[in-house]
Amino acid sequence: MGRHDLTRVGKKYYDELVTYCETNYVESETDCIFTRKRCVKEINRRLKESGTKLLYNGQVVPFDPLSFKLLLIKDNLYDKDNYSERKIGNNRQVQYLHSLALIDYVTKKLESNSNSIMEKLKEEK
pLDDT of residue 23: 57
For the chain, the structural domain boundaries read 2-124
- pTM equals 0.74
- Integer Cα distance of 84 and 72 in angstroms: 9
pLDDT in tens, the chain (125 residues): 445 555 666 777 666 665 655 555 555 555 677 889 999 999 999 999 999 999 998 899 989 999 999 999 999 998 888 888 888 877 788 788 889 999 999 999 999 988 888 888 877 76
> Among positive and negative, which fits the CA dihedral 41, 45, 47, 53?
positive
